[in-house]
Amino acid sequence: MNLSRLSETLIGSEIVKLGGEIREKIRQGQKIYNYTIGDFDPQVFPIPRELEEQIITAYREHFTNYPAAEGNLDLRESISAFIQQRENLEYSTDEILVASGGRPLIYATYRAICDGGDKIIYTVPSWNNNHYTHFVGGEHVVIEATPETRFMPTATGIRKHIKGAVLISLCSPQNPTGTTIGKSALEEICDMILEENRSRKPGEKKLYLLYDQMYWHLTFGNITHYDPVSLRPEMKKYTIYIDAISKVFASTGVRVGWAMGPSTVLSKMKAILTHIGAWAPMAEQKAVARYLRMDEEIDAFLSHFKTEIETRLRKIYDELIGLKKEGFAVDAIAPEGAIYLTIKFDLAGKTTEQGKKLVSQADITSYLLDEARLAIVPFYAFGANDTSPWYRLSVGTCRKESIVEMINQLRTALKKIH
C-alpha cells in the first residue's frame, strides 16, 4: 500500500464512471438521453433571476474577502427567519452553520459525531452514506430498503441494530428514489431514538439523526414533507438538518448550504470545517441573505419550478407505465418529491438481438446506454445489491419535447431482447 489506507480503499463513484462513458459517446456524435446527474441544465432550469442579480450586485460591492467561519450573521439570520416562516422550525443563529453546499456539512456531521468503529446506520439505496462512513472508519450498518416501502426506511428495520449506534442517516425527499418518508414512519423512528437515548448511561455517546432535507420544498400533489423536530420537539437535541439552495433554487453551482442542530455539535462541525476551508463564498452568502427575504419572488419561482419538474416526472412515469402495459419488463414508482424517478428494468437473463445474454445488471445498464441511448444510474451505485433491477432517473437536464422521443427509442431497444 503506497498511500494512506483511506485513499487506497476508497471506492470509486459508479456515477463518475458512467459519466465518462456518456461523455465519450457524446464526443463520438451520439445523441444520449442523459438522465444521470442530480444537477440542472441552466438553459432549462436557470437560477432565480433575483438571486442572480443579487450575486452580481454583491461582487460589484466587492464582497470578495473571507466570510465568517460559521457563515455571515446576516445570512444565518435570513436562514433562521426563512425556516421559521416556511417550516415552523425555530433555530437561533448559533444553531445554524453555513458551508459551501451540503456535502461538507454532511462530512462534518460524520466527523463531529463518529469515531472509528462506531456503528452508523443507513439504508440503501442512498446517496454517499457508504463513502462518508468509510471516511470516518465507522461500522457500516446497512439496511436494504425495498419497493414495498418505496425504498424508505422503517423503525422495524432499524430497531435491531440500534444498540451502540451513534448516527442514523435519513434523507427525505430521498436521493436517489424521489420518494418521501411518511408521518407515522418518521414518528416511529424518532420515538425509537428518544427511547434509546433515555436508556443510555451518563457519559455514553448519544444517538444522533442526520436528516438531509435538501429537496423538502420539492414535493408533489398531496405529498407532505415531515421533519423530526416538528413531529417530536425533543428531537431537537439529537437532530442535525442538512439543507441548501442547491436543489430548491436550481443553484447547485452557487454553493451555499447550511446545517441546523444543537450548538454543541455545530461548534465542533465549525472547527472541523475551519481547518478544511469549506466556506460558502462571501458574495454568494450576501446574495442569498438578501434573496431569502424576497417572499413573493421565491413563491413565484417555486410555483413555476415545481410545476416544470413535476410535469417531466409524471410524463416519464406515465410513459413507462404504458410500456409496462404493453408487456415490457419495466416498472416505476409514482414520483413524490425531488427531481428523481425510481424505475425498474427487470431484464436479467434475457438475450439481445445479437445473441448476447444480459447476465448482470451492469450488462443491462450498458445495453440501455448503447441501444436505447438512455443513461440512468443503477441503484447499485447507491449501495444497493448489485443485482437490484432499480434505477434513478433525474429530470434536471430533461427537455419536455424529448420525452416521447426517448420512450420510442427505449421501446425499440426493448423489442430487440427476448
Cα separation of the two ends of the chain: 46
**pLDDT for the residue numbered 14:** 73
pLDDT digits (tens, 9 = 90+) for 284-294: 999 999 999 99
15/200: higher pLDDT:
200
> Is residue 12's pLDDT more than 80?
no
pLDDT digits (tens, 9 = 90+) for 291-332: 999 999 999 999 999 999 999 999 999 999 999 999 999 999
Separation in Å, CA 182 to CA 153, 159, 175, 194, 336: 10, 17, 16, 18, 11
Q: Which residues contact 217 (CB under 8 A, 6 or more apart)?
A: 86, 225, 248, 302, 306
Q: pLDDT confidence of 17, banded at 50, 70, 90?
A: confident
The Cα–Cα gap between 410 and 329 comes to: 12
Whole-model pTM?
0.96
| 211: enclosing H helix or E strand | strand 208-212
Residue in this structure with the C-alpha cell 470545517, named with its chain if needed: 273
pLDDT digits (tens, 9 = 90+) for 56-82: 999 999 999 999 999 999 999 999 999
**pLDDT for the residue numbered 64:** 98
Query: Interior CA angle at 380 toward 376 and 383, to 5°?
Result: 130
**pLDDT for the residue numbered 13:** 72
Q: Which residues contact 263 (CB under 8 A, 6 or more apart)?
A: 92, 94, 95
> Is residue 273's pLDDT more than 90?
yes
Nearest residue to 359 (alpha-carbon basis) of 347, 344, 369: 347
Q: pLDDT confidence of 1, banded at 50, 70, 90?
A: low
Domains of the chain plus CATH, in order, are: 5-45+299-415 (3.90.1150.10), 49-295 (3.40.640.10)
> Is residue 23's pLDDT more than 90?
no
Q: What is the mean pLDDT of residues 341-357?
A: 96
> Is residue 36's pLDDT more than 70?
yes
**pLDDT for the residue numbered 25:** 87
> Is residue 16's pLDDT more than 90?
no
The grid coordinates listed for 406 are 426517448
Please give the share of the chain, as a percent, with pLDDT higher than 70. Answer: 100
The Cα–Cα gap between 50 and 62 comes to: 19
